[in-house]
Chain A
């Protein structure tokens, strides 16, 4: 059974704060790592797909890094805004399973 862990489980920050969360996954047989943003009452939306060790992706104020050798990825949000409030999911795929296994997410709340 593949174990994908995310921390923290939840986070409450003030508008303007920068924040980051962690996704940990098995380091062997890595294939891909996805990050999704999931707003309440909506469906998950893809942020990044990362496949190479050392990958860094950026979309506006959100960026992500990937370390496949040690089995972790960080998601950073610079200058958080209330509209960033959502659950951020990571999902891991290895070469054996070839299907995404989701973590339980980090729930972010940004207060004005």
Chain B
């Protein structure tokens, strides 16, 4: 397996624009996680899915953020409208179980200007 695949690797957008980040988890993994990494807060969990169902979205900062997992092999994280303070590296990770090791993608570096 190629591991967790995220796209794009880098995204630069203007304030107010919609941004969509994509993730393909490892095949067979039932859990998918979206994390955001910032200098101030470190690595923080935004939302996670179990068998394509959102389980905990308490980490999603605002209504501007939404995430979907239409099937077992694809998830999106959308920010609409984007703001400069959303600039961060966004990681997707997947795992077999909620307590087992998480495998991270390469991350998407988002810059909102």
User: Which of A's residues lie within 8 Å of B, judged by CB?
Assistant: 31-32, 34, 42-46, 49, 51, 89, 93, 98-105
Contacts and interface: CB of A to CB of B under 8 A. Distances in A.
B71 interface: no
Given A43-B91, A104-B42, A105-B42, A99 B103 contact: no
Contacts of A43: 91, 104-107
Interface stretch (B11-19, B75-83, B94-102): B94-102
B42 A99 contact: no
Nearest to A98: B98
Interface of B: 33, 42-45, 48, 56, 91, 98-107
A99 B106 contact: no
Most buried by B among A31, A42, A98, A103: A98
Given A43-B91, A43-B107, A49-B99, A100 B45 contact: yes
B50 to A, nearest CB: 10
B74 to A, nearest CB: 19
| 8 closest A-B pairs by CB | A46-B101, A43-B104, A102-B43, A104-B42, A32-B99, A44-B104, A49-B101, A43-B106
Contact of A102 (B42, B48, B99): B42
Contacts of A99: 45, 48, 56, 98
A89 B43 contact: yes
B101 to A, nearest CB: 4
Contact of A51 (B44, B99, B106): B99
A46 B102 contact: yes
Given A49-B100, A98-B98, A104-B42, 17 more contacts: A32-B99, A34-B101, A42-B106, A43-B91, A43-B105, A43-B106, A44-B43, A44-B104, A49-B99, A51-B99, A93-B98, A99-B45, A99-B56, A100-B33, A102-B42, A102-B43, A103-B42
Contacts of A46: 101-103
A96 to B, nearest CB: 11
Contacts of A103: 42
